[in-house]
Chain A
Amino acid sequence: MQAYLARRLLALVPALFFASLIVFVIVRLVPGNVIDMMLAQNDVGADKLSRDQLIATLGLDRPMWLQYFHWIGGILFHGDFGRSLWQNTPVRELLGARLPVTFQLGFMALIIALCIALPIGIYSAIRQDTAGDYLTRSFSILMLAVPSFWMGTMVMVFPSIWWGWSPQVNFVAFTDDPLQNLKQMILPAIILGTALSAITMRLTRTMMLEVLRQDYIRTAWAKGLSEPLVVIRHALRNALIPVVTLIGLQAPILIGGAVIVEQIFVIPGMGLLLLDAISQRDYPIITGVSLVIGLCVMLINLAVDLSYGLLDPKVRYR
């Protein structure tokens, strides 16, 4: 187990190297005139001095490879992601403040997605080809097609017209008022979660159908075990591994969706930080956020791989 973990962590190194390279190169594609645009957009004044200052702050006056090593070295050795161009706050501080919010949103969405997907997926499988099965399956394909920003917009507009109710937009941190915070986060989490639940539901159904046809399930039935026992203990545990893998694969979709949901409900998470940084062309923040998101996705996938051992006693790490 430890050797496996060590090897997996080691394998993260090249992945992170490529990821940092991608982020770095994309942002360094900034054509020269974008600097003028930045100056014009932000009313810094397009005089010669601030232009040179800006180029120096961005580190664009040095060769590309040197810039890269300076940037990655800062992150690796000092945890230094640079400073925001306009607010002059360290990007690390901003990330530290925003990451927990997005994490909470994502976690709540995931729980909601599982609460929807697992029971319905299981139901759909054990009652295969009944009206309920068709209904839930059509629903899940439909959920795949509804864009979360449309659902979010409707939730903002219609309850307000019909009942004069609208979601609160002043963000309250979980540490300040947990109840208020949960009340505020539940709606965005539901929207994010239902979008996520669709694929999970489909896979749960497919996997359950496959497992329910196995010999050991027939044996379990033959022993006279009750339906819940057969379904939950014998079938579900064996069907769950691909479902968990899928959750790992969906991590990027979850985070991407969080950007949009945060924008609609004005939740100050990583997504809103990124969007604000993009509108201000605050490149150190953009690179920082992207890299941290990439790292999060990789760590989530690692955690998913490690969870196989807990779920499936047949899995041994070597």
Chain B
Amino acid sequence: MTLAIDIPATSGKTERNGVLRFVIRLFREKPLGAAGGVIFILFLLCGIFADVLAPYGMNQISPRNRLMAPSWAYPFGTDNLGRDMLSRCLYGAQISVIIAFTAASLATIISIAIGILTGYLGGKIDLITQRFVDAWMSFPDLIILLVVVSVLGPGLPQIIGTLGLLLGIAGSRIIRSAVVSVRENMYVHAAQSIGASTGRILWRHILPNIMPPIIVLFTTRVGTVILAESGLSFLGLGVPPPTPTWGGMLSGSGRTFMFQGPWLALAPGLCLTIVVYSTNVFGDALRDLLDPRMRGSR
């Protein structure tokens, strides 16, 4: 028992050192990826503190200042109702952060659950599940999203649930292949031979050893979710207006006013591109450092 108390104390310390060392390595070996990580964290902070950072309310209408070009008072300009685009972009980041993290977490958990079970147990369950995943993956993400949202109606929980399920099933492949390669290791056989329960083996022996692909999967999912959500909002099936979303700001009534105020088309698109770009390079760098086997896959 004393041993069990001692171990977490020391391992916690080395783990913290390990994280620090990893961050230093990231900056040294993958400067672009590290820059992506910094932008990614900035995006997170913008989302979390949108209420504090935004100079105006997200739906604060000011008819006198309709369609103002970018200026000091309105750095990103104003839209056709005189709403400040910078504030709306910041609140849009908030929605993106909420959806990205919940949906990517849900997706990763589903991937882990399916991937570990089918990869470790194998046999008929694996075969049938894999055929199902095949069929599932033959539908474009956007098509499934559109169909499900058309059935359930647009809204935050529906989008998070669908995206989570959608990407979760697709991502189970990556986890499964990681599990299959870990399954045959000596320590797993050792655990099996001393009669450890399946649950214990999965939790204590398999899961910790597939952490690198899980972390990479999660990071890449964040970018995918942001893009998918904005695509859905662009098509008018995302989080309903007047809640500002980056995709939604590029569609709907705003589109007709873009010809008078082209900055309406610039700001949300730039936000999207920069955030997705930085999650991509950050994810790539993490993958190269954590899991060299996954290099070149996406």
- For A141, the chain B residues whose CB sits under 8 A away are 277, 280-281, 284
Known: A199-B298, A259-B146. A154 touches B140 (CB 8 A): no
Contact with A along B122-143 (1 / 0, CB 8 A): 0000000001101111111111
Interface contact B135-A146, CB-CB below 8 Å: no
- For A260, the chain B residues whose CB sits under 8 A away are 142, 231, 234-235
Interface contact A290-B143, CB-CB below 8 Å: yes
Interface contact B148-A256, CB-CB below 8 Å: no
Contact with B along A151-171 (1 / 0, CB 8 A): 001101110110000000000
B98 at the interface (CB under 8 A from A): no
- For B135, the chain A residues whose CB sits under 8 A away are 15-19, 21-22, 294
Interface contact A293-B147, CB-CB below 8 Å: no
* A19, closest chain B residue (CB): B135
Interface contact A145-B265, CB-CB below 8 Å: no
B212 at the interface (CB under 8 A from A): no
- For B151, the chain A residues whose CB sits under 8 A away are 26-27, 29-30, 34
B222 at the interface (CB under 8 A from A): no
In whole Å, how far is A40's beta carbon from the nearest beta carbon of chain B? 13
Interface contact B262-A297, CB-CB below 8 Å: no
* B237, closest chain A residue (CB): A278
Contact with B along A7-51 (1 / 0, CB 8 A): 000000011111101110011011000100000000000000000
A232 at the interface (CB under 8 A from B): no
B250 at the interface (CB under 8 A from A): yes
Chain B contacts with A in 165-179, Cβ cutoff 8 A: none
Contact with A along B12-54 (1 / 0, CB 8 A): 0000000000000000000000000000000000000000000
B272 at the interface (CB under 8 A from A): yes
Interface contact A293-B139, CB-CB below 8 Å: yes
Interface contact A145-B269, CB-CB below 8 Å: no
A306 at the interface (CB under 8 A from B): no
- For B258, the chain A residues whose CB sits under 8 A away are 153, 156-157
Interface contact A252-B138, CB-CB below 8 Å: yes
* B127, closest chain A residue (CB): A14
- B262, B268, B272, B296: which contacts A157 (Cβ < 8 A)? B262
Q: Give the complex CA separation of A34 and B135 in angstroms.
A: 27
In whole Å, how far is B40's beta carbon from the nearest beta carbon of chain A? 12
Chain A contacts with B in 239-294, Cβ cutoff 8 A: 252-253, 255-257, 259-260, 263, 274-275, 278, 281, 286, 289-290, 293-294
* B251, closest chain A residue (CB): A149
Interface size on B, residues (CB 8 A): 46
A190 at the interface (CB under 8 A from B): no
B227 at the interface (CB under 8 A from A): yes
B276 at the interface (CB under 8 A from A): yes
Interface contact A153-B269, CB-CB below 8 Å: yes
Interface contact B132-A255, CB-CB below 8 Å: no
Contact with A along B231-260 (1 / 0, CB 8 A): 100110100000000010011000100110
- Using a Cβ cutoff of 8 Å, how many contacts connect chains A and B? 142
**Which size class do A's interface residues fall under?**
35 or more
- B138, B139, B227, B237: which contacts A147 (Cβ < 8 A)? B227
Interface contact B272-A293, CB-CB below 8 Å: no
Interface contact B134-A158, CB-CB below 8 Å: no
- For B197, the chain A residues whose CB sits under 8 A away are none
B144 at the interface (CB under 8 A from A): yes
* B284, closest chain A residue (CB): A141
- For B141, the chain A residues whose CB sits under 8 A away are 252-253, 256
Chain B contacts with A in 253-298, Cβ cutoff 8 A: 255, 258-259, 262, 265, 268-269, 272-274, 276-277, 280-281, 284, 296, 298
A221 at the interface (CB under 8 A from B): no
In whole Å, how far is A146's beta carbon from the nearest beta carbon of chain B? 5
Interface contact B273-A286, CB-CB below 8 Å: no
Interface contact A150-B142, CB-CB below 8 Å: no
- For B78, the chain A residues whose CB sits under 8 A away are none
Contact with B along A108-140 (1 / 0, CB 8 A): 000000000000000000000000000000000
Q: Give the complex CA separation of A18 and B131 in angstroms.
A: 8
Q: Give the complex CA separation of A22 and B280 in angstroms.
A: 30
Q: Give the complex CA separation of A158 and B141 in angstroms.
A: 30
In whole Å, how far is A117's beta carbon from the nearest beta carbon of chain B? 14
Interface contact A157-B265, CB-CB below 8 Å: yes
In whole Å, how far is B230's beta carbon from the nearest beta carbon of chain A? 6
Known: A26-B151, A145-B276, A150-B272. A294 touches B139 (CB 8 A): yes
* A148, closest chain B residue (CB): B231
- For A144, the chain B residues whose CB sits under 8 A away are 276-277, 280
Known: A145-B277, A149-B231, A158-B262. A259 touches B142 (CB 8 A): yes
In whole Å, how far is B142's beta carbon from the nearest beta carbon of chain A? 4
B150 at the interface (CB under 8 A from A): yes
Known: A147-B273, A149-B234, A158-B262. A275 touches B146 (CB 8 A): yes
Please report A residues at the B interface, Cβ cutoff 8 Å.
Answer: 14-19, 21-23, 26-27, 29-30, 34, 141-142, 144-147, 149-150, 153-154, 156-158, 160-161, 199, 202-203, 206, 252-253, 255-257, 259-260, 263, 274-275, 278, 281, 286, 289-290, 293-294, 297-298, 301
Nearest 8 CB-CB pairings of A with B: A256-B140, A18-B135, A150-B269, A145-B277, A256-B142, A252-B140, A145-B276, A278-B150
11 contacts between A and B (CB under 8 A): A15-B134, A15-B135, A145-B276, A147-B231, A147-B276, A161-B262, A252-B141, A253-B140, A256-B143, A281-B150, A293-B139
Additional A-B contacts beyond A149-B231, A149-B234, A274-B143 (11; CB < 8 A): A26-B148, A147-B230, A149-B247, A150-B265, A150-B272, A153-B265, A157-B265, A161-B262, A256-B143, A259-B140, A278-B146
